[in-house]
Amino acid sequence: MLGNFRYSNPTKLYFGKDSLDNLKGELSAYGANILLVYGGGSIKKNGLYEDILRILSDCGKNVAEVSGVMPNPTVEKLYEGCKAAKEHQTDLILAVGGGSVCDYAKAVSVSAYCEEDPWEKYYLRMEDVDNRIIPVGCILTMVGTGSEMNGGAVITNHESKLKIGHVFGDNVFPKFSVLNPVYTFTLPKYQMTAGFYDIMSHILEQYFSGTDDNTSDYIAEGLLKSLIHSTRIAVKDPENYEARSNIMWIATWALNTLIAQGKSTDWMVHMIGQAVGAYTDATHGMTLSAVSMAYYRYICPYGLDKFRRFAVNVWEVNPEGKTAEAVAEEGLIRMESYMRDLGLVMNLSELGVTQEMLPGISEATFFMNGGYKALTREEVLKILQESI
């Protein structure tokens, strides 16, 4: 394990079919004013909204709502939430939804009492929080981002065509999250599989880096194997509780900071995907799947040993009598075929990206240098051209 690190994760998780039963107990730790935050209405269709309102009412809570949190929440929506949170003198923000709603709740929690423009402070200047933070609790309905147990809060600014994630410290992590796999059964297939690939991408972003023998990589391989196994089942049988519950648990561990410990991390697929998202507002996981194969084929020669190991340990490629390059490529072929089987978006055109947009998307890409190859802007453009 490289370097020195401190590891803590303050989010309490309640997992399983009966996990919502614990909400009452959690609510007793907070004051009366709850800001209920949710998306475009899926929770009203599946009955979760009514269940939660009943619990809040039984607990004597005074509830205000911010609804209509869109996928890829915008900065304008953030300002609306800040106003509502302050006016309601919110004691707890209760987020019910997917990554967008959970991210949004965290963004509001640090921004409501921020005296400057939160977009400029947290997203453009990447400063830490130095004001009051409103606690957040999550009830998760879509699996993928890991937002239920991390400090990530991604906000999109359509005017400046930027989609930026701030990873806040553990003082901003949700205080608790309720994870009931059954809630994810009503997800449309497109959202479900996008979430599956988001999980895979989170693991790979932390796996493809470093040359040391590192326990985090072995954990990542285990998570990947379980993910591939369960997603293959879930895509054919979406109400398979065993598969969906495994996937929900993998998603949380894929991005709750555990497997990033003691190593550098890559994150360039996410940086390129976020720039694509800023231009198209496309579903997050699909922006990642569309650029992944071109990206990994491009960096493979720079991290050949790891790509060979990935092929053998994750995709079960037999390495006997083959060069490292051949083994690595066989692994990538298996990965691509798995992605096609899931029905993921495999090129940018399908997301509405045009040739003319590519220079702008490469300009909007942020650079991270923890992977096997520190890319130049020209290389990002090349990867985008390969992906269209």
Is 99 a residue that touches ligand NZQ (CB under 6 A)?
yes
Rule CB under 6 A: which of 195-214 touch ligand NZQ?
Answer: 195, 198
Q: Closer to Zn ion by CB, 198 or 266: give it.
A: 198
| Sole binder of ligand NZQ in the list 82, 133, 154, 299 (CB under 6 A) | 154
Q: In whole angstroms, how close is the CB of 64 to Zn ion at the nearest point?
A: 30
Shortest Cβ distance from residue 212 to ligand NZQ (Å)? 25
Question: Residue 95: phi, psi to the nearest 5?
Answer: -95, 125
**141 is a site residue for ligand NZQ (CB under 6 A):** yes
Q: Should residue 101 be labelled a site residue for ligand NZQ when binding is judged by CB under 6 A? A: yes
**CA 267 to CA 366: how far, in whole Å?**
10
Interface region with ligand NZQ, contact rule CB under 6 A, candidates 5-13, 93-101, 127-135, 316-324: 93-101
| Residue 217, amino acid | D
Strand pairing partners for 14?
178
Nearer to ligand NZQ, 43 or 272 (CB): 43
3-state secondary structure of 288: helix
Nearer to ligand NZQ, 27 or 69 (CB): 69
User: CA 332, CA 293: separation in Å to the nearest integer?
Assistant: 8
Beta partners for residue 157, in sequence order: 162
CB of 362 to Zn ion, least distance (A): 20
- Selected range binding Zn ion among 192-200, 217-225, 239-247, 289-297, rule: CB under 5 A: 192-200
Q: Mark the segment that binds ligand NZQ (CB under 6 A) among 18-26, 138-146, 232-240, 302-310.
A: 138-146
Find the part of the chain contacting ligand NZQ (CB under 6 A) among 142-150, 214-222, 293-301, 355-363: 142-150
41 vs 381: CA distance, rounded Å: 38
Burial class of 376 by CB neighbour count within 10 A (0 to 12, 13 to 18, 19+): exposed
Q: How far is CA 289 from the centre of its chain?
A: 13
98 lines the binding site for ligand NZQ (CB under 6 A): yes
Q: Does 165 bind ligand NZQ (CB under 6 A)?
A: yes
The residue nearest ligand NZQ at its CB is 39
Pair of tokens at residue 107: 């963004």
- Beta carbon of residue 188, minimum distance to ligand NZQ (angstroms, whole number): 6
* DSSP codes joined into one string, 322-384: --HHHHHHHHHHHHHHHHHHHT---SSGGGT--GGGHHHHHHT------SSS---HHHHHHHH
* Closest distance of CB 238 from ligand NZQ, Å: 11
Instruction: Using alpha carbons, list the distances in angstroms from residue 132 to 5, 108, 117, 307, 348.
Output: 26, 11, 15, 45, 41
The whole-angstrom separation of Cα 187 and Cα 42 is 9
Q: Between residues 200 and 317, which has the closer beta carbon with respect to ligand NZQ?
A: 200
Asked whether 206 and 260 are in contact (CB, 8 A), the reply is yes
Min CB(284)–Zn ion separation in Å: 6
Told to check if 42 binds ligand NZQ by CB under 6 A, we report yes
Query: Which parts of 214-233 interact with ligand NZQ (CB under 6 A)?
Result: none
Q: In the complex with Zn ion, which residue's Cβ is closer, 73 or 135?
A: 73
In the complex with ligand NZQ, the residue whose CB is nearer, 72 or 209, is: 72
Chain centroid to Cα 145, Å, comes to 2
Q: What's the CA gap between 50 and 273, in Å, rounded? A: 35
Rounded Cα distance, 123 and 166, in Å: 6
Adjacent-strand bridge partners of 65: 36
- The DSSP-derived string for 155-172 is EEETTTTEEEEEE--TTT
By CB under 5 A, the residues from 92 to 131 that bind Zn ion are none
Q: Which of 198, 205, 266, 329 is in the footprint of Zn ion by CB under 5 A?
A: 198
**Which residues of this chain interact with Zn ion, rule CB under 5 A?**
198
**Which residues of this chain interact with ligand NZQ, rule CB under 6 A?**
39-43, 71-72, 97-101, 103, 141-142, 144-147, 150, 152, 154, 165, 183-184, 186-187, 191, 195, 198, 255, 270, 284-285
